[in-house]
């Protein structure tokens, strides 16, 4: 939620202080949670990461990238075999189909290179804005904002965005955050979301951003949401 009476200038000033503290905890360089050695490996690992933990993806790709060492290997592989290789990441039918088709597209349209524009990236099978922006920022060092569930949730709580739609959140963050923070916002906020600002039980009392957060201490609403979630799972 946006703070009342906070214009763009004030919001960016608060964002600078937030980022200063995040940098103090996580460093001032973007972190990569997905292990990779080439741009296409990062691209495929990101496709696999949908609805799957980075830890699981890294376990799978450690074997996968030894078996398939080139785009040609992925483009020519048996789809059923690739599905079995990535099965533990979930949604493996779609992921395998997209990875195989993406490998073909990279070879046929881009001479085996991963493109460096959001338009070309999102035209690839299985690649949306989140994946495209991650490649732009971490491979080509182009200022871009990656919005996943952690970024959307925490950015809204911090009052730097006000939307449940990832694309709207991305554009709102472009307005709220100074551009030099865009690339590392994603990994810093993921780290914060995993350790402190979790979905159902945020540790506001432990958060070093509490004095800058309009959602701090709102435990009554959070507990109510958690109770409703638990009740809905039980069919109450």
Instruction: Supply the residues annotated as catalytic.
Output: 130, 148
Cβ–Cβ < 8 Å for 71, 40: yes
Residue with tokens 């994946």: 131
Q: Which helix (H) or strand (E) holds 150?
A: helix 149-157
Cβ–Cβ < 8 Å for 19, 28: no
Contacts of 92 (CB under 8 A, 6+ apart): 83, 86
DSSP states of 71-132: HHHHHHS-HHHHHHHHGGGS-HHHHHHHHHHHHHHHHHHHTTPPPSSHHHHHTSTT--HHHH
């Amino acid at each position: 939620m946006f703070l009342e009476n906070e214009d763009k200038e004030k919001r960016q000033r608060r964002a600078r202080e937030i980022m200063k503290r995040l940098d103090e905890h996580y460093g001032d360089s973007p972190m990569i949670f997905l292990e990779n050695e080439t741009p296409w490996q990062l691209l495929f690992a990101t496709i696999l990461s949908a609805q799957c933990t980075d830890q699981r993806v890294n376990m799978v790709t450690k074997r996968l990238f030894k078996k398939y060492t080139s785009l040609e290997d992925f483009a020519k592989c048996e789809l059923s075999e690739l599905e079995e290789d990535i099965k533990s990441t979930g949604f493996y039918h779609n992921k395998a189909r997209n990875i195989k088709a993406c490998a073909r597209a990279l070879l046929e349209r881009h001479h085996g290179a991963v493109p460096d524009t959001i338009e070309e990236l999102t035209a690839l099978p299985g690649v949306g804005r989140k994946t495209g922006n991650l490649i732009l920022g971490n491979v080509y060092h182009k200022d871009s904002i990656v919005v996943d569930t952690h970024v959307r949730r925490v950015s809204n709580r911090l009052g730097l965005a006000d939307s449940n739609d990832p694309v709207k959140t991305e554009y709102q963050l472009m307005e709220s955050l100074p551009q030099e923070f865009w690339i590392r916002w994603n990994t810093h906020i993921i780290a914060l979301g995993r350790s402190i600002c979790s979905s159902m039980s945020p540790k506001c009392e432990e958060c070093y951003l509490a004095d800058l957060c309009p959602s701090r201490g709102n435990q009554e609403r959070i507990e109510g949401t958690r109770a409703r979630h638990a009740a809905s799972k039980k069919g109450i």
